[in-house]
Amino acid sequence: MEKRQAYPHLLRRDAISAGESTFSHPWNPWLSNFRHTFERLAGLVRTGVSLVRPAAGKESFAYL
């Protein structure tokens, strides 16, 4: 099996999944989101990049 080359600018699925966190609002138990943040993985200092997805069967919201 070939060894993968290291590309520092590509994010791998296992590294992204390890940084997943959940968010639920204290006043709404039906609200639940999974959040992935990419700032640290990508080495960003002055900006933030996140991927948020709603949990199955739950409500969602978005702040832009």
Average pLDDT, the chain: 77
How much is the pTM?
Answer: 0.57
pLDDT at 38 over 70: yes
Mean pLDDT, residues 15-26 taken together: 80
pLDDT over threshold 70, residue 64: no
16 phi and psi angles, rounded to 5 deg: -70, -45
Per-residue confidence (pLDDT) for residue 57, from 0 to 100: 81
Domain hosting residue 8, numbered range: 1-64
**Cα(32)–Cα(29) distance, rounded to whole angstroms?**
8
DSSP string, 28-43: -TTB-EEEEE-HHHHT
Give the pLDDT of residue 49: 84
What pLDDT is stored for residue 3 in this prediction? Answer: 65
Q: Domain total for the chain?
A: 1
Please, are residues 55 and 33 in contact by the beta-carbon 8 Å criterion? yes
